[in-house]
Amino acid sequence: MKLLTHNMLTSHVKGVTKGYPLLIKATEVKVNEVEFNPQFVSRMIPKLEWSALVQAADELGHRQDLPVELVPEYEKNEEFLKKVHRVLLEVEVIEGCLRCPESGREFPISRGIPNMLLNDDEV
Amino acid sequence: MDATVGNNVKPVRRSKEDKKVIRKQLKASHTLLKHEGISTAPQPTKSLVVANGGLGNGVSREELSAALKQMGEVDKLIMHPNKPYAFVTYRSEESARKAHINLNGEKLQCGENSVTLYLSYVDSVTCEEEASVPLPEGLVLVEDFVCSEEEALLLAAIDWSSTNTDVTAQKALKHRRVKHYGFEFRYDNNNVDKDKPLSAGIPQECLLVLERCVKNQHIDIMPDQLTVNQYESGQGIPPHVDTHSAFEDTIMSLSLGAKTVMEFRHPDGRLVAVVLPERSLLVMKGESRFLWTHGITPRKFDMVPACDPQSFGDTTPDLRTSSNLTLSKRGTRTSLTFRKIRNEPCRCAFPSACDSQGAPPSPSPPPPPSLPCCHADAALLEEQYVHRVYDAIASHFSSTRHSPWPRVCHFLCSLPPGSVLADVGCGNGKYLGVNPELSAVGCDRSSALVQICAERGFQAFVSDALSVPLRAASCDACISIAVIHHFSTQERRLAAVQELVRLLKPGGRALIYVWAFEQEYNKQRSKYLKDQNKELPENHNPAENSPEESQEPQGKSSVHSSSHSEDNYRTVDNNQHVTDGKLSVHTNRTAFETKDLLVPWHLKDGKKRVEGDSGEGGKKDQQKEKSKKTSRSKATLDCNPATSPGFDSNMFSDSSLDTIAATHSSKPIPGCDTSQTCSSALKSESEIIPAPVFHRYYHVFQQGELEQLCAQQAGVTVQSSYHDQGNWCVILEKALNR
């Protein structure tokens, strides 16, 4: 699970209203090399919840010097975009779980795949 | 190396590479044998275990013993049914050593396959000399009851041309042929219509046989009902007890044309397999007729006693001891079953199986599911007939879903770069990489399929389409291709659409594809209907590829069968429709007759059965892991080129370790008809176990139905609506002010 995906995921346990962002507990994290496409990253940024991304990167210990707030005119800031690229697309959680911040319910991540299936009573 | 090895064993000069490979595989075989409880001896002994030389890998006794006998005098050769190894004990240790030198790592040709044998010494041979199992009480087998001329006469006397069912359809269904004389046996209620005798009574040609039966005191009264069954190789009949109230006690069955193996099962679990030779008469009375079930497993090969007069060890020539078996290929067998109609209620001593005395009519094949009316039932139905099936067939399914459909690609490529896309019900991720400018994420209910997405480098997670864990209005676009038709109620289908809409940003668009009830549109038959030549055509969905020229519709298939070939109890004649809310099984490659149905999937390749064998509950994932590893490692296995053609037959190699582990606790899977086959180890080229059939639930949509579903959503407009190769398709747009 990449952090780009994590940024979209939310807890859908019945009754939960503050299920975003999911907390990450990772036991295995991988960093892959992914081709840097500045345009793609640039287009993704406005669609992200920035603070959730920073928090997630922090949880994984991969935040490095990613700023708490978006820098202005990031579209032209290649250095910045590279940092975002790394955190968004290169860091991957292989094993661990996602935890609903409100209910505490944990969704396992195995072989890079989060299993978000709810039980019948949680739907 | 000794050059004088048998014709079917080829000596190969070994390079260092080869030797290394053999060492490795030998190590794997040791581990495996340990798994089976066999410990190998470090020093030479008189006895050897021959890995890959088993009945379970399709190696016959004759082939193996020919190779072994070359090395010296064989004292005993034991081949347990279904095991992928054999035990041989030589008269002398020297012979055993010779066998080890010459046969270890060597290929053995067995019919069309070849296997690589790995030999190890063993201290003792665990030969279970089972006490001979008696035949069920009341069962008598009389061999050579008719001579060859009489057999030919009887076979000729049966007129198949006047049978009701369409011959081609029968062939397509691979259903055994059945004909009745005297009275018709009905498969819908497993009983006889005693008030409607058939115009044709028992053929005259049979009188000779019946008189002989009376003379030999097998029966007192002449039968008045005859059922003729013709089984091709690979066909069978599920276990059943002949309905008590329909027929009197004694039932006689004459086997013509080929031999077969019939299995008798007692309610307490005892199983007795009986070889029925050609021209033999089987007489069932008493307990064997009233209580034991009898059936014929659909197979192409049976395990039968070896006829070798030189057979070693125990020479009891029947199936009840395992030390003397070999494989026998099935031929076409015709059985003539003679019965006497019963006119009064049955008063047998076996009320538990007696429909006159309160028991349900046997054998109750699993009742076909009904359309659910509530969410809980719907979820259960979908679990059994959608989710479990996809998890079991994932790998095979994925291999048949490789070409993205052009119009879906068009939709994806029309999205602005940087769009966020959710593919709900992404399957094997076919569409996730079509447009690399998108930020695409997929989700699917099947972890096996999501796993395939991950292997391909796509982002995906496991979830239900009714509750997708993505934030509302987080997607620029969604697609849901061939998904919503798996939901079994209108409410759930609507909920699926609602979920897609929830995910969309205002102004966002969703593309939905569902199977169409109308497979022909504008006089163009879909490829699904037309294509008869594809490999396992029954596994292709409508809309596989581009449309072809129009053809006149050929009308519906003349057999509307509410049974699949395995489910022999529901032979339905042409005009009978199942209208009681029960789901019928669709005949692939024909027009749809109902909107809610079960569609068969034939799992291809015996090897893939491993995935289908995964047990239930907690172990499931673990075994799936193992079985997945098998199919993956098959591709990456670094094999000796000399042995690669034969690799399928080889149990004992690195990859098969997991396979064996996975098959050890195979359990029956609901929605899958493998109940007839025994839980055997992996087979070579699948001659021995027929491919299982899975049934998937579908609700096929009529024209306008999908649009209507979307129209029920507020704030949504249908932008376009079309028919694409057997699918109804809709592009909907979420209003900007939502």
What confidence score (pLDDT) does residue B5 get?
47
> Could you tell me which chain A residue has the CA closest to the CA of B468?
A12
Euclidean distance between CA atoms B68 and B196, whole angstroms = 61
**Pair B572, B596: CB distance under 8 Å:** no
A1–B459 CB contact, under 8 Å: yes
In angstroms and rounded to an integer, the radius of gyration of the C-alpha atoms of chain A is 15
pLDDT digits (tens, 9 = 90+) for B219-239: 999 999 999 999 998 888 888
What confidence score (pLDDT) does residue B663 get?
30
H-helix or E-strand spanning residue B107: strand B107-110
End-to-end alpha-carbon separation of chain A, Å? 23
Sequence-ordered list of residues with C-beta below 8 angstroms from that of A84, at least 6 positions apart, any chain: A41, A44, A45, A66, A74
In angstroms and rounded to an integer, the radius of gyration of the C-alpha atoms of chain B is 29
Residue ranges, chain A, pLDDT below 50: none
Scanning A17-36 for CB atoms below 8 A from B yields: 20
Average pLDDT over chain B, rounded to an integer: 75
What confidence score (pLDDT) does residue B10 get?
54
pLDDT at B361 over 70: no
pTM: predicted TM-score of the whole model, two decimal places: 0.52
> For B668-714, what is the HEC assignment?
CCCCECCCCCCCCCCCCCCCCCCCCEEEEEEECECCCHHHHHHHCCC
What confidence score (pLDDT) does residue B638 get?
25
Nearest CB partner across the interface for B418, out of A20, A43, A111: A43
The interaxial angle of helices B490-503 and B375-382, nearest 10 deg, is 80
How far does the CA of residue B367 sit from the closest CA of chain A (Å)?
Answer: 25
Task: Flag whether residue B618 sits within 8 Å of chain A, measured between CB atoms.
Answer: no
Question: Closest Cα to residue B452, out of A6, A113, A117?
Answer: A113
Nearest CB partner across the interface for B454, out of A39, A112, A117: A112
What confidence score (pLDDT) does residue B430 get?
94
pLDDT at B657 over 70: no
CA B285 to chain CA centroid, Å, is 32
How far does the CA of residue B494 sit from the closest CA of chain A (Å)?
Answer: 17
Which chain B residues contact residue A111 at CB under 8 A? 451, 454
What confidence score (pLDDT) does residue B163 get?
57
A111–B470 CB contact, under 8 Å: no
Task: Flag whether residue A116 sits within 8 Å of chain B, measured between CB atoms.
Answer: yes
pLDDT at B560 over 80: no
B387 secondary structure, DSSP code = I
Highest mean pLDDT among B91-95, B388-392, B585-589: B91-95
A10–B470 CB contact, under 8 Å: yes
pLDDT tier, B132 (very low <50, low <70, confident <90, very high otherwise): low
Tokens of B689: 């176990």
How far does the CA of residue B671 sit from the closest CA of chain A (Å)?
Answer: 21
B459–A5 CB contact, under 8 Å: yes
Nearest CB partner across the interface for B461, out of A4, A47, A114: A114
What confidence score (pLDDT) does residue B651 get?
38
Euclidean distance between CA atoms B68 and B100, whole angstroms = 10
Nearest CB partner across the interface for B451, out of A10, A113, A123: A113
pLDDT tier, B174 (very low <50, low <70, confident <90, very high otherwise): low
DSSP string over chain A:
-BHHHHHHB----TT-S---SPEEEEEEEEE------HHHHHHHGGGS-HHHHHHHHHHTT--TT--SSPPTTGGG-HHHHHHHHIIIIIEEEEEEEEE-TTT--EEEEETTEEB-PPPGGG-
B293 secondary structure, DSSP code = E
B110: helix, strand or coil: strand
Mean pLDDT of B147-167: 80
Task: Flag whether residue B467 sits within 8 Å of chain A, measured between CB atoms.
Answer: yes
Which chain B residues contact residue A115 at CB under 8 A? 447, 461-463
B18: helix, strand or coil: helix
Q: Compute how many other C-beta atoms are within 10 angstroms of the C-beta atom of residue B325.
A: 22
Which chain B residues contact residue A48 at CB under 8 A? none
Which chain B residues contact residue A2 at CB under 8 A? 459
pLDDT at B343 over 80: yes
What confidence score (pLDDT) does residue B618 get?
29
Nearest CB partner across the interface for A47, out of B420, B443, B450: B420
What confidence score (pLDDT) does residue B604 get?
67
In degrees, rounded to 5, the angle at the alpha carbon of residue A63 between the alpha carbons of residues A22 and B461 is 35
Distances in Å between the alpha carbon of B132 and those of B218, B294, B713? Answer: 25, 20, 70
Q: Compute how many other C-beta atoms are within 10 angstroms of the C-beta atom of residue A55.
A: 17
Nearest CB partner across the interface for B418, out of A11, A40, A115: A40
Report the percentage of chain B scoring pLDDT > 90.
Answer: 40
A10–B420 CB contact, under 8 Å: no
Cis peptide before A21 (omega within 30 of 0): yes
Q: How many residues does chain A have?
A: 123
Sequence-ordered list of residues with C-beta below 8 angstroms from that of A45, at least 6 positions apart, any chain: A70, A74, A84
Which chain A residues contact residue B462 at CB under 8 A? 113-117
Tokens of B194: 């005693």
pLDDT at B480 over 50: yes
Question: Closest Cα to residue B59, out of B103, B122, B3?
Answer: B103
Task: Flag whether residue A92 sits within 8 Å of chain B, measured between CB atoms.
Answer: no
pLDDT at B514 over 90: yes
Task: Flag whether residue B377 sits within 8 Å of chain A, measured between CB atoms.
Answer: no
pLDDT tier, B187 (very low <50, low <70, confident <90, very high otherwise): confident
**Preferred mutation among A117, A118, A121, A122 to probe B, highest tally of B CBs within 10 A:** A117
Task: Flag whether residue B435 sits within 8 Å of chain A, measured between CB atoms.
Answer: no
Task: Flag whether residue A120 sits within 8 Å of chain B, measured between CB atoms.
Answer: yes
Task: Flag whether residue A99 sits within 8 Å of chain B, measured between CB atoms.
Answer: no
Mean pLDDT of B206-221: 92
Which chain A residues contact residue B447 at CB under 8 A? 113, 115
Which chain A residues contact residue B461 at CB under 8 A? 1, 5, 9, 113-116
pLDDT at B622 over 50: no
Euclidean distance between CA atoms B538 and B531, whole angstroms = 10
> Could you tell me which chain B residue has the CA closest to the CA of A20?
B471
How far does the CA of residue A67 sit from the closest CA of chain B (Å)?
Answer: 23
The interaxial angle of helices B148-157 and B207-215, nearest 10 deg, is 130
Q: How many residues does chain B have?
A: 738
Task: Flag whether residue B28 sits within 8 Å of chain A, measured between CB atoms.
Answer: no
Task: Flag whether residue B471 sits within 8 Å of chain A, measured between CB atoms.
Answer: yes
What confidence score (pLDDT) does residue B312 get?
41
Question: Closest Cα to residue B45, out of B127, B119, B129, B128?
Answer: B119
Task: Flag whether residue A2 sits within 8 Å of chain B, measured between CB atoms.
Answer: yes
CA B508 to chain CA centroid, Å, is 44
How far does the CA of residue A85 sit from the closest CA of chain B (Å)?
Answer: 13
Q: Compute how many other C-beta atoms are within 10 angstroms of the C-beta atom of residue A61.
A: 10
Sequence-ordered list of residues with C-beta below 8 angstroms from that of B685, at least 6 positions apart, any chain: B58, B112, B113, B606, B648, B649
**Pair B7, B70: CB distance under 8 Å:** no
> In B96-117, which positions are buried (b, 16+ CB within 10 angstroms) versus exposed (e)?
bbbbeebbbbbbbbbeebbbbb
The bridge status of strand B420-424 relative to strand B439-444 is parallel
What confidence score (pLDDT) does residue B358 get?
83
Tokens of B215: 């003379």
B15 secondary structure, DSSP code = P
